[in-house]
Amino acid sequence: MSAILSKSEILSSIRNTPSLIEDYINLDEQVQSNGVDLTLRNISTLQSSGRIGTENNQRIISNLTSLIFDELDYIDLGLGAYVVTYNEIVNLPRNVMALGTARSSFLRCGVAIHTAVWDAGYSGRSQSLLTVYNPQGFRLQKNARITQLIFYRLTEETEAYHGAYQKENIL
């Protein structure tokens, strides 16, 4: 039977080798009853178009330019789409996958986080799309908790993820 990992299972998995989550800021604040809050490492703007075709070799990912945080480690964001990179490295075993969702405070500020599936066997420092819908903009601080990652235990082990984003943003 598949199930969502509990707080105690998450903490136990963080003590494993490899750890479920590495490079976290503060486990006491980040581990929730039903997941782990991921924190902001970097935010970038999209600088070019992208392309997805029927074959992986046709894929062109948009170029990014990192934005600079101010002296208090904040950044002011206007309407639009941004790519965020998380501080945490996620290491999923072959029987666990994850889904991410924005923290509820983002929704109340007119900001959304769009994520993809974290496949079983994935290891890396992920990225997501942050979209500011609020016409007044949004102010965000580096290392803020922005996304809750929820872990799902699969009914059995599966083939490990081996796509283009395996080990992304680790070096």
Domain-located, residue 103: yes
Instruction: Identify the CATH number of the domain in which residue 21 sits.
Output: 2.70.40.10
φ/ψ (deg, to 5) at 26: -155, 100
Contacts of 1 (CB under 8 A, 6+ apart): 155
Domain-located, residue 7: yes
| pTM of the predicted model as reported, rounded to 2 decimal places | 0.95
pLDDT, position 171? 76
Domain-located, residue 159: no
Mean pLDDT, all residues of the chain: 96
pLDDT, position 99? 98
Across 122-139, average pLDDT: 98
pLDDT in tens, 56-110: 889 999 999 999 999 999 999 999 999 999 999 999 999 999 999 999 999 999 9
Domain-located, residue 12: yes
DSSP per-residue codes, 78-109: -SEEEEEEESPEEE--TTEEEEEEE-HHHHHT
Domain-located, residue 66: yes
